[in-house]
A and B are shown apart, each in its own frame.
Chain A
Amino acid sequence: QKEVEQDPGPLSVPEGAIVSLNCTYSNSAFQYFMWYRQYSRKGPELLMYTYSSGNKEDGRFTAQVDKSSKYISLFIRDSQPSDSATYLCAMSLGDYKLSFGAGTTVTVRA
């Protein structure tokens, strides 16, 4: 079993829809949680960083962490074609090592 599980999709939504992305994890010691966005043939770009259970908002993006269920989510409101990318979750025990999900490919249709 992988430490971090992420549905690879692909996920296709119409413009303006809410995109919902999820990751589950097996190690309850993970403390820090991140979401990265990766456009095709580019490096991952950090979107969200959080270390507590609950919600964190940044513009159209909301990151949600539920440590009791070992489950994290990313919601994208009012999705745009420019949001079409692969989204990677990542988590850390509190040191340098990040454990990544395999990524979910999202397409927002105009």
Chain B
Amino acid sequence: DAGITQSPRHKVTETGTPVTLRCHQTENHRYMYWYRQDPGHGLRLIHYSYGVKDTDKGEVSDGYSVSRSKTEDFLLTLESATSSQTSVYFCAISERSLGEQYFGPGTRLTVT
């Protein structure tokens, strides 16, 4: 998985609770991304980062926030989890903005 780890790998949480997912990379790549994958929708970009403290929204960013205080770590936070955020979340990294993206192993999140 190209030196990418995600934690936790599985999480069950209740509606209304905050949740933070962590992506850690050892490749020193500048760009990092958070996607969600749902049946029938494929992979959709939530947020991305183009450097430390530099982030921007993707196509499905409502209800999510991100932070990147170090090159190697990119955090995704659900401030108040909802059942519609039940999904598999993938982190990805790339060396260049138009380059190939490499994905982590994923986090399976269930919101009850």
- On A, residues with C-beta under 8 Å from B are 32, 34, 36, 41-46, 49, 88, 90, 92, 94-98, 100-103
Contact = CB atoms under 8 A, between A and B. Distances in A.
Contact of A42 (B40, B43, B106): B106
Nearest to A89: B42
A49 B95 CA distance: 14
Interface of B: 1, 4, 31, 33, 40-45, 48, 50, 58, 90, 94, 97-98, 100-106, 108
B89 to A, nearest CB: 10
Given A42-B106, A43-B1, A43-B90, A102 B41 contact: yes
Given A42-B105, A43-B106, A96-B98, A103 B90 contact: no
Contact of B97 (A41, A49, A95, A103): A95
Contact of B43 (A41, A44, A45): A44
